Amino acid sequence: MPRELTQNRIQKIWIPSKDDKPAVPRRAGGPYFTNSPTVIVMVGLPARGKTYISKKLTRYLNWTGVPTKVFNVGEYRREAVKQYSSYDFFRPDNQEAMKIRKQCALSALTDVKSYLLEEGGQVAVFDATNTTRDRREMILNFGKENGFKVFFIESVCEDPNVVATNIMEVKVSCPDYKDCNKTDAMEDFLKRIECYRASYQPLDPDNYDRDISFIKVIDVGRRFLVNRIQDYIQSKIVYYLMNIHVQPRTIYLCRHGESEHNVLGQIGGDSGLSSRGKKFSGALSRFMEEQNLKNLKVWTSQLKRTIQTAETLSMPYEQWKALNEIDAGICEEMTYEQIKERYPEEFALRDQDKYYYRYPTGESYQDLVQRLEPVIMELERQENVLVICHQAVMRCLLAYFLDKSADEMPYLKCPLHTVLKLTPVAYGCKVESIYLNVEAVNTHRERPEQDVKRGPSTLMRRNSVTPLASPEPTKKPRIKSLDDHMASTSTSLSGFAASDISTAGQPLLGKACLT
């Protein structure tokens, strides 16, 4: 007898009723698949963009709903060795330092294990140089022992300009060099790189490393070598890495001008601009001209109000259906008051869990993220772009750029007639908010006061799972006595004394759904 189905009230997903016994015992309970977690291992000399890639990739994976976290061994080292003195620490003949550095790597791997096996993580990014075969062998064994897939990302670059730029952007201002001037910092760092060079064994696809899964990124993405992709997530990672670039550029996000529905407090629909909305379009046009960009792409949705806004710019624009506002289903074109009156239960459910809540016959923010993923991918490929979209859509896009969690996303402030200018800088994104001085109604509804919020009990297809903000890197306490640790450490991590290292409590993250 097939099981009865009920529709979960928030996500509107059909699941077997809880009280029926399953006809056939199910793996892990429910219509989703569990997958081996993945350890992504960065490889490369210092200043080759490993941390840049780690952080960006983590932000992307989290946004698409794959719980991911970076483990940066350099940060472990900074916790262990409070004061960095000079590049001498990295000399290959500095035995004391070598011990500490190995210790830090092992400590980080312990945390990786904990994250992937106990904290609901799906992907861990192990960010370190990992330039020797020995080190990589150790990590492969670690992966094998714990049932993790291992995927290497090597960044190879010998363009001195790129390396110097990297050092200036992110190294000279790092804690290691807080007491140095820029020139000294640069000089020291270059010597640091040399310490690694002699022992650097790049991934060798033809022989030694032919059986491992990896991507070699050469010269900042001019060239890629991809070996033995094992699964969906590795394929997505490769695609993402092949689409990102480091050219300076700016992304402008804004909503359409105020619409007639906005004025009446009605959500959704396909109305035209109000007169203030038209005024905003003019202001937007002038603003974009002042920005004096050499090549600007303009994207709109396929709803009238964004297109009307773009029309005033007098430049070509491209319409994306994927940028349409969230579909409010049966609540389309109603005001919040009307919704509260006609569908009080739905109204309450939405406030309970605005990210997962799907309007009946409509969409949720979670659905939006899935729909917007190709837009994000194309934004990564592009350079200067102005995206004229809608409130919920803009919140999703902004959450990607600013690494906001699913919890925060539906409450991000995206007021009408305000342009957000996003510029990539160092490891993140600078954001400037420019109000174009044309009045408009406020369409922002704050998060209501409430107590416990529960996430969904059933998780769906990988593409539509919770975005999570990239977790804060775990801070390690200083390793007090190296000898104690050395005594108990073997090459295998299982012997490592985990009790000495405390993990900053990580909240239990929802299980991701992957094949």
Partner 1 sequence: MGTVCMTNCPTLIVTVGLPARGKTYISKKLTRYLNWIGVPTKEFNVGQYRRRCVKIYKSFEFFSPDNEEGLKIRKQCASTALNDVQQYLSSEGGQVAVFDATNTTRERRNVIIKFADQNGYKVFFVESICEDPDVINANIVQVKLGSPDYADCNTDEAVEDFMKRIKCYENSYETLDEVLDKDLSYIKVMDVGQRYLVNRVMDHIQSRIVYYLMNIHITPRSIYLCRHGESDLNIKGKIGGDSGLSERGKKFARHLGDFIHEQNIKDLKVWTSQMKRTIQTAEALGVPYEQWKALNEIDAGVCEEMSYEEIQEHYPLEFALRDQDKYRYRYPKGESYEDLVQRLEPVIMELERQENVLVICHQAVMRCLLAYFLDKSAEELPYLKCPLHTVLKLTPVAYGCKVESISLKVEAVNTHRERPENVTVNRSREEALQTVPSHL
> Which active-site residues does the annotation give?
256, 325
Which amino acid makes up residue 190?
L
Contacts of 213 (CB under 8 A, 6+ apart): 149, 150, 151, 152, 227, 228, 229, 230, 234
Q: According to CB under 8 A, which residues from 354 to 393 bind partner 1?
A: 361, 367, 370, 378, 381
Residues 485 and 89 sit within 8 Å (Cβ to Cβ): no
Out of 262, 463, 470, 506, the only residue in the binding site for partner 1 (CB under 8 A) is 463
Q: Where does this chain touch partner 1 (CB under 8 A) — which range of 76-84, 121-129, 187-195, 228-236?
A: 228-236
Nearer Cβ to partner 1 (165/235): 235
Is residue 515 involved in binding partner 1 (CB under 8 A)? yes
Residues 331 and 268 sit within 8 Å (Cβ to Cβ): yes
How many CB atoms within 10 Å of residue 202? 14
Q: Where does this chain touch partner 1 (CB under 8 A) — which range of 24-32, 60-68, 165-173, 281-289?
A: 24-32
Residue 129 CA to residue 443 CA, distance in Å, equals 48
227 is in an annotated binding site: no
Three-class SS state of 486: helix
Three-class SS state of 149: strand
Nearer Cβ to partner 1 (205/282): 205
Nearer Cβ to partner 1 (94/227): 227
Nearer Cβ to partner 1 (237/419): 237
Q: According to CB under 8 A, which residues from 410 to 439 bind partner 1?
A: none
Q: According to CB under 8 A, which residues from 240 to 269 bind partner 1?
A: 242-243
Enter the tokens of residue 86: 């000079």
Which amino acid makes up residue 197?
R
256 is in an annotated binding site: yes
Three-class SS state of 379: helix
Residue 98 CA to residue 92 CA, distance in Å, equals 7
Out of 117, 147, 175, 239, the only residue in the binding site for partner 1 (CB under 8 A) is 239
How many CB atoms within 10 Å of residue 444? 12
Q: Where does this chain touch partner 1 (CB under 8 A) — which range of 16-24, 109-117, 391-399, 428-436?
A: 16-24
Which amino acid makes up residue 505?
G
Residue 460 CA to residue 116 CA, distance in Å, equals 19
Residue 421 CA to residue 44 CA, distance in Å, equals 33
Q: How far is CA 171 from CA 53, 304, 407, 455, in A?
A: 15, 47, 33, 40
Is residue 229 involved in binding partner 1 (CB under 8 A)? yes
Is residue 208 involved in binding partner 1 (CB under 8 A)? no
What is the closest distance, in whole angstroms, from the C-beta atom of residue 13 to partner 1 in the complex?
Answer: 6
Enter the tokens of residue 483: 């000898």
Nearer Cβ to partner 1 (31/202): 31
Q: Where does this chain touch partner 1 (CB under 8 A) — which range of 132-140, 194-202, 222-230, 408-416?
A: 222-230
305 is in an annotated binding site: yes
Is residue 317 involved in binding partner 1 (CB under 8 A)? yes
Is residue 316 involved in binding partner 1 (CB under 8 A)? yes
Residue 84 CA to residue 175 CA, distance in Å, equals 8
Is residue 513 involved in binding partner 1 (CB under 8 A)? yes
261 is in an annotated binding site: yes
Applying CB under 8 A, which residues contact partner 1? 2-3, 5, 7, 13-14, 16, 23-24, 26-27, 31-33, 205, 222-229, 232, 235, 238-239, 242-243, 299-300, 316-322, 332, 361, 367, 370, 378, 381, 460-461, 463-464, 513, 515
